[in-house]
Amino acid sequence: MKKENLAALAAMSNRYGSDPAYVLAGGGNTSYKEKDVLFIKGSGTALATIKAEEFVGIDREKLGAIWGKTYPEKESEREAAVLADMMASRLPGETRRPSVETLLHDLFPYSFVLHVHPATVNGLTCSKEGKKAAAELFPDAVWIENSKPGYLLAALCRGRLAGRVSAGGGFPKIVFLENHGIFFAADTTGEIDVTVARVMRGIAGRLSELPDASDAPVDLKKAEEIAAKLAGLCGEGGTAFVKHIRQRSLLGYDPLTGSLTPDHIVYCKAKPLIIRDGEDIASAFSAYRANNGYKPKVVYCRGLGAFCLGNSEREAEIAAEVFWDAVKITVYARSFGGVSPMPRDLEDFIVNWEVESYRSKVKV
């Protein structure tokens, strides 16, 4: 039975993971649990290609013991200690690193869990009126307010979900995470598919505006010149790749919006470098690096679009995909009162969070 269920988990993971409407880069995670063991996607592993034998096996008793421990108040020390205990809960012989959301997956009393970050859903979770709209559309779901990821998020969810159960509401199968994404849970992957379709259909029915992905007419010669300059600045004598994107909705995007979800910080950094017409690109690039401690992943030029940078062609493409995802979210959010970016303290936490840094370095 375990073999069949792991095969079903892999099939579900591959299906959603290969669909950019649900998963980009190394985002999202899935799990299957039995009484004593939880099998979960490893951090940085691609859902699109994961195989049944590649899920990380976790001893649920050892994992659950984390809730009985007292951890340091200092964030860096707390997260390091929790990570060490989570790693120690792996089954003998496991070498892969389990998803940072392993504790959260284990909370659900259902066999299968799917966690994804669809732009359509995040148009709701990253909006000013998202919580209200979610309650209207999905009264059986739970909304979790912004929280620092990892142990604190899992603890917040644990308390909120337990409170719902004790109040007679039952354990939900849909959980919205503000400025993050959504969890689906059920005892079969087929039931998860039905629930996913219901949520996506419900949100789509409330959208008054859709992103325009058609290319805007821009000065392509000027764009090529800027791309060449950025490749030289980013490569510093080596090879750098630049992906220029110019969707119509992107040209109307406000690059000062702020970070929307952890994935946008992981793959695009917390903010783009904004180049104004006539500005010296080399000076702006240097100033950005000096102020932030790293090179930009996205350079936004008004009237031209965005230039997404990477040390490989795939890395530049991922930055482009994820930045366009942020633009789409802002458009969807207009149907729910307008976009609401992450609080600054949460953004700063994720910028410096070791776990997310690890995930961004894993090949996808």
Give residue-wise pLDDT tens across range 9-64.
Answer: 999 999 999 999 999 987 899 999 999 999 999 887 899 999 999 999 999 999 99
Give the per-residue pLDDT at 363. Answer: 45
Give the per-residue pLDDT at 354. Answer: 52
> 191-195: which pairs have CB atoms within 8 A and are 24 or more residues apart?
192/12, 192/112, 192/114, 193/12
Provide the CA 61 distance to its chain's centre, in angstroms: 28
Give the per-residue pLDDT at 351. Answer: 86
Q: What is the mean pLDDT of the chain?
A: 93
**What six digits make up the tokens of 177?**
């995470």
Give the per-residue pLDDT at 214. Answer: 98
Give the per-residue pLDDT at 76. Answer: 85
% the chain with pLDDT above 70: 96
Query: pTM (2 decimals)?
Result: 0.94
Which of 72-81, 90-99, 116-125 ranks highest by mean pLDDT?
116-125
Residue range 225-281, pLDDT digits in tens: 999 999 999 877 666 899 999 999 999 999 999 999 999 999 999 999 999 988 999
Residue from 319, 327, 318 nearest 252 by CA: 327
